Each structure stands twice: as structure tokens, then as C-alpha cells.
Structure 1
Amino acid sequence: MSDTSTPTVLLLPGWQNSGPAHWQSRWEQRYGDTRVEQHDWMRPLRGDWTARLDEVVADLPGPVVLAAHSLGCILTAWWAAHSRHAGKVRGALLVAPGDVERPDLAAQIRGWAPIARHPLPFPAVLVASQDDPYCSFERAEGLARSWGARCVDYGARGHINADSGLGDWDEGRGWLMQLATPA
């Protein structure tokens, strides 16, 4: 029997967290979504971030959906490849993954390469921008293929963050809610 309860939305910000104007913060305020707080947003450690996400998912009684941004996308893929709790995830919205294998980012965010490239054990939509300064569109398409995610070309929207002028980003919320609804 499948779980038809309403899933908890977990927000997975990237490096340096998401500020108040970011769509993740706006969703937290508007919908009461749960931000997965990390102990150090400035010096992210993959093992620590993975353990924290695993702890949060394990402690929740029902299903979850993930709304990840930037490094949060890379975290999602790594966590899903290693966690015994990934079965609780109904789906993931992966927005603007950061290419931590790129030399300039790898120097700033150490220890996150290689990027896990296993198919995700849950449905996912990856939203990528044509002019994201942290990941080329072609690279994002390749990650989507590796993860088995549907790739959405979001045009020239930068890093799909507060600077992109998305406001509450109702379109992204719609994709997330599609993932949250059991098939």
C-alpha cells in the first residue's frame, strides 16, 4: 500500500544558505516548508551535510519532497546514492546545480567532487538556466541524464536565485507539487 499522506517539503539550500528574497526562503515563509539547517553554510562539508539530511529525513514520520538549489542538488544526488532512507522521498526539484567539479568552484568548495552520477531512486525535475555562472547548461543536462531527471530549460535566468527576480516562483512550486502527488 502506498503512502498517500501529504509529504513534508524539505528545502536544501546551497553554499552560503538562501537569503530572505530567495524563492526557498519565500516558500518557507509562505508555505511553512522545512529548511534543512546545516552547521556551517560557509565551509560546507559533504559528509556533515549528508549526515544532517539523513537525520532529518529519518526523523520525519511520512514522505518528503526535496526542493534543492545549487549545492543542495549535489547533496541530493550524493545522499540518495548512500542513504537507506531515500525511499521516503516522493520526488525532488533540483534547481541550478553547482558544478563542483569545475576547477574554480572545486577550489572554493572542497571535498564535494566527484559528483554522484547514479540514477535517483525517485522522480526528479532539474531546472537549468542557459547563463548560470556556476554550471553550464550542457553540464546541467548531463547531470539530469545521469540522475534520470527531466531537464527543464529555463532560459537565461542566471543562477535561478533571488537575483533572477522570481519572487515566490509559482512555476517552480507547481513542478514541486506535481512531484509531491502520488502517481
Structure 2
Amino acid sequence: MFPSPNATVLIVPGLRDHVVRHWQTLLHADLLAARQKVATVPPLDHDKLSCAARLVALDKALLAIDGPVLLVCHSAGVMIAVHWARQRYPGMPQDKVIGALLATPADLETPLPAGYPDRVSLESGGWLPIPREPLPFPTILAASRNDPLASYERAAGMARDWGSELVDLGKVGHLNPAAGFGPWPGATNLLARLQRRH
């Protein structure tokens, strides 16, 4: 089930930006094939660890879209959306973002596995602390029971603080190609649920 075509789905990737076999990349193609309006926040050429630069990129992508938007965020993309909501949403038309799917948020406040930015880099990049205020639009947070980047308990706490509906995905790792995803068919159903809530 796809969301109503009157809304544009805007993909907000994490720090690794665009990965060919990632579910967000595949979702973009599926939505295009279904004649759904869809866009993706483009990758950064510079300042890749700057939260402020990521917020500007999200702002630009939103301003280029006419009509309501559903955000689809993964990993650090969730944190981009949450920081954006706190810092920049007040200056945006209040009916612009009508909901957000927040999939397997990266818990940037706890030590991340090797190959990910360390706490000093995240602090200097403006990512910390994680905002905990309720989000100003409907959200669904989809959490994994064995995510190496966030425990289920921490993700559930974020959902509670943000006022998000919590969806338990079971043991799906970080919901990325390294965990065996690939397509994530459940994303479109959650998006349709979000739009019905709006």
C-alpha cells in the first residue's frame, strides 16, 4: 500500500548517504514506478559530518517541493530530521511536513562500532545531545531488537520522548544491506499509516 499521491515522499539518508542496495534507494525506485511523488536529500560533497550542513540540505530539499511532505529517515537521517524539527521547523509552513517514518535511529550518544564517527567528531559536528522534545508532526519509529547502533530500550525511549508510535521490527539488525536488507516492504505500509493519521 502506497501513500496518497498528493504528498511527496522525501528520503533522508544517514551519514553513508546513498547505498545502491539500501532499502531507501529501492523504495525511491518503487515509488517512482508507482507514480508516487518522491525525492531524496542529495549527498554532501563537503562537511559530511556537519549536522548544520545536513540541516541546510534538508531545508533546500523541502523548499524545492510543492505541497505536503512525508519524511523517510534511516539511522543518522533520523537525527537529521529530529534536529531539523527543533531548529528549523518553526520557520517552515506548518502543513509542510505531515509525518515522518523514523527507521532504526542511530544512538549517537553511545559508543558506535568501528568505522563510525567517534563521540568527539559527533560533538564537534553539532550532533549531540540528541534532542528529546516532542516532534511537531506525526511520527512512527521502527526499532530493531538487535541493532548494533541503538539498543531497543534506547530507541523506545526516543519514541516516548518524541511522541512517536513505536513499531517493533524484531531482530533486523540495522535494517541495512549488512543485515540482509535489501528491500523493506513494510516501509510503504507505515507511510500509508502515517498519512492516514494526518
TM-score between both structures, scaled by the size of structure 2: 0.83
Aligned residues: 180
Question: How far apart in 1 are the matches of 2:93 and 2:18?
Answer: 24
Distance 1:17 1:5, change over 3 A: closer
Letter in 2 for 1:113: L
In the other structure, the counterpart of 2:55 is: 50
Shift of 1:182: 6.1
In the other structure, the counterpart of 1:26 is: 26
Report SS of the residue matched to 1:142: helix
In the other structure, the counterpart of 2:11 is: 11
Give structure 2 stretches of 5+ with no counterpart.
Answer: 33-37, 113-117
Aligned 8 A contact 1:9 1:65 in 2? yes
TM-score between both structures, scaled by the size of structure 1: 0.89
In the other structure, the counterpart of 2:119 is: 106
Shift of 1:86: 6.5
Shift of 1:180: 2.7
Report SS of the residue matched to 1:157: coil
In the other structure, the counterpart of 2:100 is: 92
Distance 1:146 1:176, change over 3 A: same
Aligned 8 A contact 1:101 1:114 in 2? yes
Shift of 1:28: 1.4
Question: How far apart in 1 are the matches of 2:176 and 2:64?
Answer: 29
Indicate the larger mover: 64-73 or 97-106.
97-106
In the other structure, the counterpart of 2:136 is: 121
Distance 1:78 1:173, change over 3 A: same
Q: Indicate the percent of aligned positions where both proteins have the same amino acid.
A: 37
Q: Which has the higher contact order (CA 8 A, sep 6+)?
A: 2
Letter in 2 for 1:163: A
Give structure 1 stretches of 5+ with no counterpart.
Answer: none
Question: How far apart in 2 are the matches of 1:20 and 1:27?
Answer: 11
